[in-house]
Amino acid sequence: MKHVPQRTCVGCHQVLPKRTLIRIVRTPGGVQVDPTGKAAGRGAYLHNKRSCWGHGLKGALAHALKTELTGQDRQHLLEFLASLPEETSEQQELPTKGSRSTEKNEMTE
C-alpha cells in the first residue's frame, strides 16, 4: 500500500490527504494559490470551504506562512474565496474524523 501524504487545514485543523486540500504558497512575489501543489516556497493548506478560508484570512494563514499578508495578497485570496461554492449549514457543523474536536472527544472517552 502506497503512503498518502497528509496535511492539516490551517482553517479547521482537520488532517486530510494532501491532494484534497488547496495549497497556498509564499513566494518572493507574494502569496498565491498553488493549484499544482509543487510551486517553490513555504506552503500552507486550506479546504475548499469558505469557513476555512475565513479563519485562514483572519490570521492563521499568515502565521502558517510566517509572513504578513499584504493588501494585494489578501485581495488575490479573497478573489479565489469568491469562486468557492457556498456551504450548507450541515457542512459547517459536522466534525469529521481527523478534526481536532473529534480527536479530543475520542481521547476523553
pLDDT at 1: 85
Half-sphere exposure of 8 (CA within 13 A, CB side): 9
- The mean pLDDT of the chain is 85
pLDDT category, 97, cuts 50, 70, 90? very low
Question: Whose CA is closest to 7, among 28, 27, 21, 25?
Answer: 21
Q: What is the CA radius of gyration of the chain?
A: 14
Whether 88 shows a pLDDT value over 90: the answer reads no
- Average pLDDT for residues 68-82, to the nearest whole number? 94
Give the model confidence (pLDDT) of 32-67 as tens digits.
999 999 999 999 999 999 999 999 999 999 999 999
DSSP characters for the chain? -----EEEBTTT--EEEGGGSEEEEEETTEEEEETTS--SSEEEEE-S-HHHHHHIIIIIHHHHHTSPPPHHHHHHHHHHHHTSPPPPHHHHH---TTSHHHHHHHHH-
Whether 81 shows a pLDDT value over 60: the answer reads yes
Q: Into which CATH architecture does domain 6-108 fall?
A: 2-Layer Sandwich (3.30)
Structural domain boundaries of the chain?
6-108
The b-or-e profile of 67-82 (16+ CB within 10 A means b, else e) is: eebeeebeebbeebbe
pLDDT at 85: 86
Compute the distance between CA of residue 12 and CA of residue 46 in angstroms, rounded to an integer. Answer: 8
